[in-house]
Amino acid sequence: MASSTKASTEALANSSSDFDAIIVGAGFSGMYMLNSLRDRLGLSARVFEAGDGVGGTWYWNRYPGARCDSDSYVYCYTFDKQLLQEWEWSERYPGQLEILRYLNHVADRFDLKRDIQFGTRVSAATFDEKRNRWEVRTDKGDVVTGRYFIAAVGSLSATNLPKFKGLESFKGKWYHTSQWPHDGVDFTAKRVGVVGTGATAVQAIPEIAQQAKHLTVFQRTPNFCVPARNGKVDPEVVKSRKADYDGIVERIRNSFFGFELNFIPKSALEATPEEREREFDARWDAGGFGFWLSNYQDMFFVKEANGLCADYLKRKIRATVKDPAVAEKLIPKTYAYGTKRQPLDTNYFETFNKENVLLVDASDAPIEEITPNGIRAGGKEHELDIIVFATGFDALTGPLKNLGIRGRGGQSLAQKWEDGPHTYLGLAIAGFPNLFTITGPQSPSVLSNMPVSIEQHVEWISDCIDHMRKNNFTTIEAAPQAEEQWTAHVAAIVNTTLMRPPSVPLVPRPWEW
Ligand SMILES: Cc1cc2nc3c(=O)[nH]c(=O)nc-3n(C[C@H](O)[C@H](O)[C@H](O)COP(=O)(O)OP(=O)(O)OC[C@H]3O[C@@H](n4cnc5c(N)ncnc54)[C@H](O)[C@@H]3O)c2cc1C
């Protein structure tokens, strides 16, 4: 822990224990929530953060190649105009260290660290129905209370490490990408295995392959990827964006996904093959999320339209990967394009042309166990010195269930969500008064450019609390009926898309409603 965060944490541990608000998490969400409640509304607030510094995602995920996929000019706070003008991003997509520097800059600029207790994990939060206050406990023995309890725990902060048989017997070293050592890992002359091929692995694999003696990639589900095309941004573009931030903020807040991207208002099936190829090429050449989020408007809804986009990307994989058998393994075949988060890559598919890289595909060689010397998959032992688990997160519900939340009548959130999440707007939960969840399940969350969704939630929560105080309301709580309606509404939208579960029939497309 840095000396400044350590000093503030020690001072906080011995100070007051009753607050207007308790906030959990000091990433983008928790930091802005603190600023908003403390500096805009004048409330007392305490933030608890498990890490030893601010940054959330960007504090923990330090694996090689860790980088944002949102363009930097929109992957930032927009609530302070001066901050937008003074901060300069060095590249189109900022790397982990640069985002962490940015978030530390914000924390210092708004003097946030003095109210954040670092290195402290919230282990229980119980609503006291007599006092209408939340009682919150931590792993360091703190017991504090707050009128409002705000979970700013992130959607992707609970590590998912599958229970592989034999892991404890492995004689080499192993790491999870989301809990990466702060002093890095040296892969020089090592035989490395990477388990997983999601967005994180797509970033890490090309970097590790450059350093390692040999890299074995264990793939369960292949991914469609589009090139990131990272690099310096033309200073004239930077200047004109800075001059137009009011317009940018207006556009990203009113877009589908929090980017300056909108669909082509036409069906892919109506376009001629030449026209389609031109549109696809333009998005491929530009790099970034354009291929995914500003493609033909029926791409997410109509199988045939989606297939045309997918075929283009499959052709690109076949043209890049020299060994046709490896190329076929790298081509997704079991789900529609875009229904899983679309990773951006820099030399991902090219990496499988390297002599020192081997792809092991779980469809014909599933991982059976970790052995003292490596990984056994499909009956063959792959000898390894280092294993990197890029197996992602217990996403969305995981970090909330881990908080040990109990609402009215002692009901636990984990119990309530046994059959999946039920929320109102992804922000509030029936039976859990004065609990707010920033970017909770059933909100746009990870399907959006998250700082935009985070700012919207923080401002909504802050306005709601302000309204309650001005009108002397003690509690606010989602009505069970509103929660049911919202849950049904979210399911109805999903069921119009190719993201719906295979067992659910497709309902009419939105533009036919
Ligand atoms: C590798 C990676 C790349 C990403 N790239 C993008 C991108 O390109 N664009 C995009 O929009 N989003 C991206 N994201 C999503 C990213 O999580 C969000 O953009 C954003 O950083 C979320 O901020 P947050 O504050 O809501 O949550 P987080 O940053 O996850 O912060 C939550 C904090 O809560 C703390 N916490 C959780 N539980 C407890 C507890 N019980 N007690 C105490 N503290 C707790 C955690 O330690 C963590 O620090 C990416 C995520 C990852 C993992």
Measured CA to CA, the distance from residue 197 to residue 217 in angstroms comes to: 8
Q: Which amino acid is at 71?
A: D
Residue 474's closest CA among 35, 143, 129?
129
Tell the burial category of 511 from Cβ atoms under 10 Å away from its Cβ (0-12, 13-18, 19+).
Answer: exposed
Measured CA to CA, the distance from residue 114 to residue 16 in angstroms comes to: 13
Q: In this predicted model, what pLDDT tens digit does every residue of 190-249 receive, in sequence order?
A: 999 999 999 999 999 999 999 999 999 999 999 999 999 999 999 999 999 999 999 999
Give Cα separations from 276 to 102, 224, 261, 304, 312 (angstroms).
39, 18, 18, 13, 10
pLDDT at 257 over 70: yes
Confidence of residue 513 (pLDDT cuts 50, 70, 90): very low
Give Cα separations from 440 to 16, 122, 151, 178 (angstroms).
29, 17, 9, 20
Please work out whether the CB of residue 31 comes within 6 Å of at least one atom of ligand 1.
no
Confidence (pLDDT) at 506: 73
Tell the burial category of 412 from Cβ atoms under 10 Å away from its Cβ (0-12, 13-18, 19+).
Answer: middle
Q: In this predicted model, what pLDDT tens digit does every residue of 315-365 receive, in sequence order?
A: 999 999 999 999 999 999 999 999 998 999 999 999 999 999 999 998 889
Please work out whether the CB of residue 449 comes within 6 Å of at least one atom of ligand 1.
yes
Neighbours of 289 (CB within 10 A): 20
End-to-end CA distance of the chain: 55
Confidence of residue 405 (pLDDT cuts 50, 70, 90): very high
Please work out whether the CB of residue 498 comes within 6 Å of at least one atom of ligand 1.
no
Give the residue-averaged pLDDT of 16-20.
91
Instruction: For 427-468, give the DSSP string.
Output: TB-TT-TTEEETT-TTSSGGGS-HHHHHHHHHHHHHHHHHHH
Residue 148 three-state SS: strand
pLDDT at 454 over 80: yes
Please work out whether the CB of residue 56 comes within 6 Å of at least one atom of ligand 1.
yes
pLDDT at 105 over 50: yes
Q: 27: which residues sit within 8 A by CB, 6+ positions away?
A: 54, 55, 56, 57, 58, 59, 103, 152, 154, 157
pLDDT at 150 over 60: yes
Please work out whether the CB of residue 392 comes within 6 Å of at least one atom of ligand 1.
no
Residue nearest to atom 51 of ligand 1 (CA): 57
Q: Which amino acid is at 68?
A: C
Top mutation candidate among 450, 454, 456, 461 for ligand 1, by most atoms within 8 Å of CB: 450
Q: Identify the DSSP state of 232.
A: P
Q: Which amino acid is at 421?
A: P
Confidence (pLDDT) at 91: 97
Atom of ligand 1 nearest to the CA of 154: 27
Q: Could you tell me what percent of the chain has a pLDDT over 90?
A: 93
Confidence (pLDDT) at 501: 84
Q: In this predicted model, what pLDDT tens digit does every residue of 481-494 receive, in sequence order?
A: 999 999 999 999 99
400, containing H or E segment: helix 397-401
414, containing H or E segment: helix 413-416
Confidence of residue 131 (pLDDT cuts 50, 70, 90): very high
Q: Could you tell me what percent of the chain has a pLDDT over 70?
A: 96
> What is the maximum span of the chain, computed from C-alpha positions, in angstroms?
69
Measured in Å, residue 157 CA sits from the centre of ligand 1 at: 6
> What's the whole-number average pLDDT of the chain?
95
Confidence of residue 502 (pLDDT cuts 50, 70, 90): confident
Give the residue-averaged pLDDT of 399-428.
96
Give the residue-averaged pLDDT of 292-300.
95
Confidence of residue 62 (pLDDT cuts 50, 70, 90): very high
Please work out whether the CB of residue 293 comes within 6 Å of at least one atom of ligand 1.
no
Site of tokens 């820099």 = 346
Give the residue-averaged pLDDT of 266-292.
97
Confidence (pLDDT) at 504: 82
Atom of ligand 1 nearest to the CA of 68: 8
Give the residue-averaged pLDDT of 417-424.
96
Measured CA to CA, the distance from residue 234 to residue 236 in angstroms comes to: 5
Atom of ligand 1 nearest to the CA of 66: 1
Q: Which amino acid is at 384?
A: L
Top mutation candidate among 52, 78, 99, 157 for ligand 1, by most atoms within 8 Å of CB: 157
Measured CA to CA, the distance from residue 396 to residue 276 in angstroms comes to: 36
Q: 205: which residues sit within 8 A by CB, 6+ positions away?
A: 65, 194, 197, 215, 217, 348, 351, 357
Confidence (pLDDT) at 3: 58
**The three-state (H, E, C) secondary structure of 357-393, written as one string:** EEEEECCCCCEEEEECCEEEECCEEEECCEEEECCCE
